[in-house]
Amino acid sequence: MLKHWKRVGIVAGLSLTLVAAGCGAEDDGEEPGDEPDDNGEPEEETDDEAEDEDDGEAEAAGDYGEEVDYTITGIDGGSGVVQSTEAAIEDYGLDEWDVQTSSDAAMIQELDNAYEDEEPIFLTGWTPHWKFQEYDLEILDDPELSYGEAESLGTMAREGLEDDHPEAYQILESFEWGPADMEDVMLEIQDDVDEAEAAQNWIDENEDMVSEWTDGVDENAGEGESLTLTLVAWDTEIASTNVIAQVLESVGYEVDLNQVEANYMFAAIADGDADASVAVWEPHTHADYIEDYEDDYDYLGANMDEGAQLGLTVPAYMDLESIEDLQE
């Protein structure tokens, strides 16, 4: 059985992500602008028509700004995604825009209210996040890279773990999944399913993937042995750590989960006070800690390759594609 969390400190930082959806073709299968002229030839879109479309998109973006009072709904002010959003406002010259900070729960409630009536809303966001399973959301293009490149989630272990528990090390090294997998677990937890139960439900539905992590490991490999996994208390890491903990318990290990702030997570692995973590964000989010401790732990590789992204988000029913669309 999983032991109770050791809550040493919590780093909270959640966000959402959403982008605009495109337009479909007409019912007869012809693309817009291909209607035949009087001679039976398709008419090509003129420069004036293209310019009118661009003007229409710019007008729509302007209308959205007015409707939301040029406000982006965010989470707590100290979070990285809010800081990146403030940078985006400067990078794109969105002088009239402002970020209204609040709790993650308050931001989600604002999204829920707007989504129900298909009203415009702009949010600070990231993936993976359970709301991408609940709503049709995407991230706006960010050509200035105000939010940075996509990040990977990685696994680290204390030095000596491979010698002490080679089977556990193998499972941890083999652990790899995708954003949609993580979001499935996150959504169940959000729906008040117990964290360990939600993780086990996902494992039961994805036996083929899990069997690749445990390939060649005896079902009683960890009998009588205990492990400590450490993590930051983000929804993403709660999901991933519970999944890998359940897998390790399935081969006999007793697993203790230890929630701490990011600096303590790295220090615990480096000092040997914890055995492993699947909660390393790279190259940006945990860059300082990686630089400080990378010589004092074993890096086992990415468990989610470039699956994490911060960004300015909107519901898909909004006619926007890029942050640039908000420029006047």
- Per domain, the residue ranges of the chain are 6-11+150-308, 47-148+311-326
Whether the predicted pLDDT of 208 surpasses 70: yes
The pLDDT tens digits for 120-147 are 999 998 899 888 789 999 999 999 999 9
Q: Which amino acid is at 84?
A: S
pLDDT, tens digit, 9 for 90 and up, residues 151-187: 999 999 999 999 999 999 999 999 999 999 999 999 9
Q: In 10 A of CB 175, how many CB atoms?
A: 25
| Residue 4: band (very low, low, confident or very high) from pLDDT cuts 50, 70, 90 | very low
H/E/C letters for each residue in the chain? CCCCCEECCCCCCCCCCCCCCCCCCCCCCCCCCCCECCCCCECCCCHHHHHHHHHHHHHHHHHHHHHCCCEEECCCCCCHHHHHHHHHHHHCCCCCCEEECCCHHHHHHHHHHHHHCCCCCCEEEEECCCHHHHCCEEECECCCCCCCCCEEEEEEEECCHHHHCHHHHHHHHHCCCCHHHHHHHHHHHHCCCCHHHHHHHHHHHCHHHHHHHCCCCCCCCCCCCEEEEEECCCHHHHHHHHHHHHHHHHCCCEEEEEECCHHHHHHHHHHCCCCEEEEEEECCCCHHHHHHHHHHEEEEEEEEEEEEEEEEEEECCCCCCEHHHHCC
Q: Which pLDDT band, with edges at 50, 70 and 90, does 281 fall under?
A: very high
Q: Quick one: fold of 6-11+150-308?
A: Dipeptide-binding Protein; domain 3 (3.10.105)
How many residues does the structure list for the chain? 328
Which residues neighbour 299 within 8 Å (Cβ) at sequence distance 6 or greater?
Answer: 154, 155, 156, 280
**Per-residue pLDDT at 200:** 98
> Rounded to whole angstroms, how far apart are CA atoms 312 and 126?
8
CB 57: neighbour CB atoms within 10 A? 15
Q: What is the pLDDT of residues 10-68, one digit of tens each?
A: 333 333 333 333 333 334 444 444 445 555 555 555 555 545 545 555 556 769 999 99
Tell me what pLDDT residue 42 has.
52
Q: What is the mean pLDDT of the chain?
A: 85
The confidence score (pLDDT) of residue 8 equals: 40
Report the percentage of the chain scoring pLDDT > 70.
Answer: 81
At the topology level, CATH places domain 47-148+311-326 in D-Maltodextrin-Binding Protein; domain 2 (3.40.190)
**Least confident piece of the model among 70-79, 90-99, 299-308:** 70-79
Q: Which of 129-138, 213-222, 277-286 has the highest mean pLDDT?
A: 213-222
| CA dist., res. 131 & res. 142, Å (int) | 21
* Of 148, 146, 102, nearest in space to 121 by CA: 102
For residue 71, pLDDT beyond 50? yes
Cβ count near 271 (within 10 Å): 13
Write down the pLDDT at residue 5: 46
Q: Is the pLDDT of residue 303 over 90?
A: yes
